[in-house]
Amino acid sequence: MKEKDARFLILAAIVAALGGLLFGFDTAVISGTTPFLQPYFSLNDIALGWTVSSLLIGCIIGVIASGKPGDAFGRRKTLLVAALLFVISAIGSALSTNLFVFISFRMLGGIAVGTASMLSPMYISEISPAKNRGTLVSLNQLAIVIGILMAFFSNYLLAGTGENSWRWMLAVMGAPAFLFFIALLFVPESPRWLMQKGKNNEAFSVLERINGTAVATSEIKAIELSLATEIHGTYKELFSKDLRPILWIGVLLAVLSQITGINSIMYYAPVIFKDLGNGNDSALIQTAIIGGVNFLFTLVAIRWIDRWGRKPLMIGGAIGMTISLTVITIAYFLHKFEGYLILFFILTFIASFAASLGPVTWVVVSEIFPNKMRSKAMSVAIVALWTTNFIVTLLFPVILKRLGGGVAFLIFDLMCILLLLFVIFKLPETKGKSLEELEKILLKK
């Protein structure tokens, strides 16, 4: 009889979460480069929106393209390919002198981001015991915000290195991407994927090391039963009468997590602060402060997600986001920007998101779908997430410039109210249940 090895589990989860760190870094690093890219490539507002959002087209491709390899070759091997794409994208975009080439390398990085955004939380969810799953999957979100924070501070530190500072901002991502590749060589494959491929002995070895012999034995039986009675994993069956309600929960949660404005603030924070009358240096340090708050309040979510549950965190976060955006909207319409009013409520909005919607979205989307449908269902939900992110990111600078910040933040505010209603009436609580138990409950088996 073997005892569980908690360090092994945590190490595997941290390594997988490095994909989230690169996800966060690659999506946020662009915010510091926009003041340099706009004059370098002679971009108007629409071209700037396209240059910033082009990564997200790659994300959509990455999510769609990673599902089959993730099922055929395993979560770990597919993440290894993503790590290499991160390295190539970092170096290629940093060396670009042509806008088409720059956007092409950013889209390549987006494919890596899309792959990591789906497979990293999926992998962690599939190796985690039920009682710790929310906390461990939230490590992926923590890694995302650490990546965002690293990007913001890196941008601030490199901003004074000359006219090519934007190149260094983009190039530094190559180092953690290479580390991610090396670290993945030392972690096991997902036990649930191994079971799907008939590699029961390997799956048992992984589960035994994570949970101990007794728990691993019961886990193996539960997974076997789940796989034996599970519907075949086709897209037609994904949209069947039984699965459609669960799919809509995942899709709507993914869409609402983006349409409430979080990434518009993350990507365009320096632009927003300059629009409010701050200088470039001041805007960059305020953006770095946003990254710090995002990090600290993600720790709050990790601390409480498996104690309080998913719904209470989401309800509290949605209320905080709504109040913050209401004040920002009123301030914009009344032109009341004195002091640090806008900064304070932007930070309150970020804190509310980081303690709730940020991590909980990835946790719930990785939990609610049946084993054989998980990769396909997650791909649909995450494609919806990145598509929404792309549309909002593309249009935000145009709305900000032509309609004003008041209109932009009013739209986000209304979406937050819709999010609150959705969480209260439609979101299931998944705390403390195994993936197999959730499958029975949600499918009403």
Query: What distance, in Å, lies between the first and last C-alpha atoms of the chain?
Result: 33
Q: Of the given ranges (93-97, 333-337, 407-411), which has the lowest mean pLDDT?
A: 333-337
Residue with tokens 């989230």: 20
Give the chain's mean pLDDT. 83
Q: How many CB atoms lie within 10 A of CB 76?
A: 20
In order of 106, 240, 425, the CA distances from 164 in angstroms are: 17, 53, 51
pLDDT in tens, 254-269: 999 888 888 777 666 6
Domains and CATH numbers, the chain: 6-190+202-442 (1.20.1250.20)
Average pLDDT over residues 158-176: 86
- Report the C-alpha gap between 278 and 284 in whole angstroms: 10
Residue with tokens 């070895």: 205
Phi, psi of 27 (to 5 degrees): -75, -30
Q: Of the given ranges (19-23, 46-50, 88-92, 150-154), which has the lowest mean pLDDT?
A: 46-50
Q: Exposure string (b/e) for 355-377, b if CB count within 10 Å is 16 or more?
A: bbbbbbbbbbbbbbbbbbbbbbb
Average pLDDT over residues 116-140: 82
| Structural tokens at position 371 | 């084993």
Q: Which residues contact 296 (CB under 8 A, 6 or more apart)?
A: 351, 354
- Report the C-alpha gap between 37 and 57 in whole angstroms: 19
Residue 274, pLDDT score: 60
Work out the pLDDT band at 131, boundaries 50, 70, 90: confident
Per-residue DSSP letters for 151-190? Answer: HHHHHHHHTTS-TTHHHHHHHTTHHHHHHHHHHHTTSPPP
pLDDT in tens, 352-402: 999 998 888 878 888 888 877 777 888 888 889 888 888 887 787 778 778
Q: Are 366 and 137 in contact (CB under 8 A)?
A: yes
Residue 50, pLDDT score: 84
Q: Of the given ranges (100-104, 165-169, 196-200, 337-341), which has the lowest mean pLDDT?
A: 337-341
Nearest Cα to Cα of residue 142 among 31, 26, 261, 18:
18
84-88, 219-223, 346-350 — most confident range: 84-88
Query: Which run of H or of E encompasses 226?
Result: helix 213-229
- Report the C-alpha gap between 184 and 163 in whole angstroms: 36
Residue with tokens 């932009």: 408
- Report the C-alpha gap between 394 and 47 in whole angstroms: 9
Residue 229, pLDDT score: 62
- Report the C-alpha gap between 103 and 51 in whole angstroms: 6
| pLDDT at residue 20 greater than cutoff 90 | no
Residue 95, pLDDT score: 92
Residue 100, pLDDT score: 92
Residue 363, pLDDT score: 83
Which is more confident, 238 or 70?
70
CA dihedral for 313, 300, 263, 370, sign (positive or negative): negative
| pLDDT at residue 232 greater than cutoff 60 | no
Length of the chain: 445
Residue 362, pLDDT score: 79
- Report the C-alpha gap between 33 and 193 in whole angstroms: 40
